[in-house]
A and B are shown apart, each in its own frame.
Chain A
Amino acid sequence: MTATISGTALGPHLRRRRDAGRKLLAPYLTGGVRADWTDYLLAYAEAGADTIEVGLPFSEPVVDGPTVQEASHLALRRGANVRDILADLRRVRVGIPLTVMTYYHLVQREGAEVFCANLAGAGVRGLIVPDLPVDELGTLERAATAAGVDLVLVAAPSSTPARLREIGTRSRGFVYAVSVMAPTGVRDELADTAGVLAGQLKQATDLPVLLGFGIATPAHAVAGAHVADGVAVGSALMRAVLDGESPAQVGARVAAMRDALDRAYP
C-alpha cells in the first residue's frame, strides 16, 4: 500500500510554531455535519488555527458529551461516512495539517493499514483515537508511521506517572491532555486537574501538549495555554455550528481565541 503524502507533517509544524513562542490552537469540527462543512475548515484556518481536528462521526460516541453526540448523529442522519468525508477533504486546500479524531471501531473495520493510507491520501497528517488506550495500539502504531500520519495519544488526569511516561514516549505529533474526568462538553471553568496534568506531561515529554475538553471561551484558552502549549476547542464551536452560525461567524469565534492567545503570550 503506497500512500501519497501531501502537505506539511503535523509534528514538525506544531513544534516549530511552539518553539517560536506561539500558543497552539486546534479547533474541532464534525465531518459532514452540514453540506458546506469544509467551508468551516477554511474559516478555522483563516482565523489562525494551527491544526484542525476533523471528527469522523460514529454512532456510539462514548467519549463525547451532548453537543458532539448531537453533531455526530446529525452528520450520520445526513448520510456522512468515512469515505465521503475523506473525499471532501481531498478536494479542499486548508493550508495547515489536519488531524482526524475518531473511534477505534471505524479504524479497525477497514484494517489499520488501509485506514491510515486513506487518511494520508486525503492529506490528513494526524490521528486521535480517544477510546484506544496505549496498551491496545496493536498494529495501528506501525501503520500510522508507515503512512506518515502522527498517532496522537491521549493522557488523562487519572493516568499514573508510568502511563504518562509511556504516552509521552509513544505519542507522535503532540500529546492530547484531557483536562477533566468527564466527557467532552462546555464547562464554566477550566478544571483544576488541567494544570496538574499539563505540568506532569511537560515533565514527561518534549512534544507539544494540547489541553482539550471543556475549553469554551478565549479566557479558558488563555488559562489552558498558561500550563500547556495550546488548546483544543470542540463543543463550544459545535454548539454554534448546530445553532446555525455561518462559517464566518464560527470562524470569528476561533479568531477571538487566537487573538486572546496572541495578546496573552506575545
Chain B
Amino acid sequence: MGTVAAQSPALLPAAGLMRDPGGTGRFGEFGGRFVPESLIPACAEVEEAFRQAWSDAGFRQDLDRLLAVYAGRPTALTPAWSLSAELGITLLLKREDLAHTGSHKINNVLGQALLARRMGRTRLIAETGAGQHGVATATAAALLGLGATVFMGEKDMARQELNVHRMRVLGAEVVPVTSGSRTLKDATSEAMRHWVTCVDEAYYCLGSVMGPHPYPWMVREFQRVIGTEARAQCATELPAAIPDYVVACVGGGSNAAGTFAGFADTTAQLIGVEAAGGAAIADGRVAVMHGHRSYAVQDEHGQILEAESIAAGLDYPGVGPEHAHLHDIGRARYVTVTDDEVLAAVRRLARAEGILPALESAHAVAWVIRAAEGGELPPRATVLLTLSGRGDKDTATLLEVAR
C-alpha cells in the first residue's frame, strides 16, 4: 500500500467509471454484500427498490424538488479570493456547508428517506460519527413523518454534544454505543445489529459510501448531485471549464465520491484527503468489514485498529469500496494530513474567506495549502474543493485546543 500509480487520467478508459456496479455490487475486487444471512433479504429489497426508484421520473422529481426547496440546492461555488491570491492558484469552494443542516449528508438522507417511505418503512436507523449524518437523518425523518433511531459512540457524543442536542430536539432517539473504541466503527456495527431485529419495520439509512451492496453505489448516486452541479459551475467559472484538481476529504468517502462522480470522465486529477490517524488507503490493507471488502487499518493479526482523528467524521479505520478501486486503478490519489495541519487550515480559511469549515472539510483545505506552498501544485493551477460542512459543531473542540 501507499504506492501511487502514475497518473495520466487522459489515457485511462474512464467511460465506465463510477457507474452501476451490477447485481454483485463490485468495484473491481471491492464491494460485495458480506452480511449475515439474516440481512440478505433486506439488502436485496433495498437494491430492488432503489433500482426502481432511480429509474422512476416521479421519484427523481420528488427528490429534486426537496433538494431545491428544502435543502437549498444548488449550493454555491465560491471563489476563495484571498486564499487563491496567497497560494498563487485558483481555488473554488463547492459550498456543501450551505446545505440545510450544514453538510452534504442531507443529499443522501433525503434520497434514502424518500426510498424508505416508498418501501413502506416507518422508522429510519442511522449510525453517526460527527453527528452530521444523524442530524440529517433526524431532519428528514421529521420532514417525512418517520421515526429515527441514531447510534453514536459515547466518545463522539461527548465531543459533538451540540449535534446530540440537535437530534433530540428534532425528535430522534440517540442511542449511546459503549463497545470497542466508542466511535463511528462501533456505532456502525451496533446499527447493523439493531437492523436485524426490525427489518420489516425500519430502514437502515447508512451515512456514507460503505456497507453492503447497494449502499456504496446508492449513496454515491445520491451524492452525485455535488459533482454534477460543480461540473456545470466550473464550466462557467473557469476558462478551461474543467479544474486541474478536484479535492475532497474522505471518511467513508461520500462527499468525495459524489464530487468525483462529476469529474471521473475528465482530465481532472482526483484527490481524496484522509486523516493521518485513520488513513485506510495510505496505511491499510484489504479488509472485510461492515458489509463490504475494501481497505482498513489493522494490526499484524488482522484486527481492525481504532482511528485517531480530531475530526469525528473521519475517525473511521475503513473507507468505501469504490475509493479502494479508484486507488488501485490509479484514477484517484489518496493523501493524508495531520490534525495540526487541519487546525491551521480551519483558522486560515476562516480568516481569509470568512468561512468556518468543519474539521472534516478542513482536511481538504489543509492538503491544498500544503501542496500549493510545497510546489506540488503548479502556479495558477485550478482547484475545485468540496467544502463538505460548516464548523459550528466543532467550536467546543476548537475551544479546547485553544486552551
B189-A131 in contact (CB<8A): no
A105-B301 in contact (CB<8A): no
B36-A62 in contact (CB<8A): yes
Interface residues of B in 275-322 (CB under 8 A from A): 285-290, 293, 298, 301-304
Contacts of A73 in B (CB 8 A): 179-180
Among candidates A76, A83, A183, residue contacting B196 with C-beta atoms closer than 8 Å: A183
Which residue of A is nearest B186, CB measured? A60
Distance A81 CA – B300 CA, assembled complex (angstroms): 10
How many Å from the CB of A147 to the closest CB on chain B?
Answer: 19
B185-A182 in contact (CB<8A): no
A: number of interface residues (CB 8 Å): 41
How many Å from the CB of A81 to the closest CB on chain B?
Answer: 4
Which residue of B is nearest A107, CB measured? B288
Contacts of B288 in A (CB 8 A): 103-105, 108, 131
Give the interface residue-count category, chain B: 20 to 34
Interface residues of A in 137-169 (CB under 8 A from B): 154-160, 163, 167
| B interface residues (Cβ-Cβ under 8 A, vs A) | 24, 32-42, 179-180, 185, 189, 192-193, 196-197, 199, 285-290, 293, 298, 301-304
Given A130-B36, A133-B33, A155-B37, the answer on whether A181 and B196 have CB atoms closer than 8 Å is: yes
B40-A163 in contact (CB<8A): yes
Among candidates B40, B290, B302, residue contacting A82 with C-beta atoms closer than 8 Å: B302
Distance A81 CA – B301 CA, assembled complex (angstroms): 6
Given A65-B193, A156-B37, the answer on whether A60 and B185 have CB atoms closer than 8 Å is: yes
B302-A105 in contact (CB<8A): yes
Among candidates A76, A109, A178, residue contacting B287 with C-beta atoms closer than 8 Å: A109
Given A59-B180, A105-B287, A108-B286, the answer on whether A178 and B37 have CB atoms closer than 8 Å is: yes
How many Å from the CB of A225 to the closest CB on chain B?
Answer: 22
Given A59-B304, A62-B193, A106-B302, the answer on whether A133 and B199 have CB atoms closer than 8 Å is: no
Contacts of B40 in A (CB 8 A): 133, 135, 156, 158-159, 163
Given A62-B36, A62-B189, A135-B33, the answer on whether A158 and B42 have CB atoms closer than 8 Å is: yes
A76-B303 in contact (CB<8A): yes
Distance A156 CA – B32 CA, assembled complex (angstroms): 20
The A-B contact count (CB < 8 A) is 102
A–B Cβ pairs within 8 angstroms, 7 of them? A65-B193, A104-B288, A109-B302, A110-B302, A178-B38, A181-B199, A182-B196
How many Å from the CB of A127 to the closest CB on chain B?
Answer: 15
Given A58-B303, A60-B185, A73-B179, the answer on whether A136 and B192 have CB atoms closer than 8 Å is: no
A61-B189 in contact (CB<8A): yes
A60-B289 in contact (CB<8A): yes
Which residue of B is nearest A176, CB measured? B37
Contacts of B196 in A (CB 8 A): 181-183
Distance A235 CA – B41 CA, assembled complex (angstroms): 26
Contacts of B189 in A (CB 8 A): 60-62
Indicate whether A92 reaches chain B with its CB closer than 8 angstroms: no
Contacts of A109 in B (CB 8 A): 285-287, 298, 302
Indicate whether A132 reaches chain B with its CB closer than 8 angstroms: yes
Given A60-B185, A158-B41, the answer on whether A131 and B34 have CB atoms closer than 8 Å is: yes
Distance A104 CA – B196 CA, assembled complex (angstroms): 19
How many Å from the CB of A198 to the closest CB on chain B?
Answer: 15
Which residue of B is nearest A76, CB measured? B303
Indicate whether A118 reaches chain B with its CB closer than 8 angstroms: no
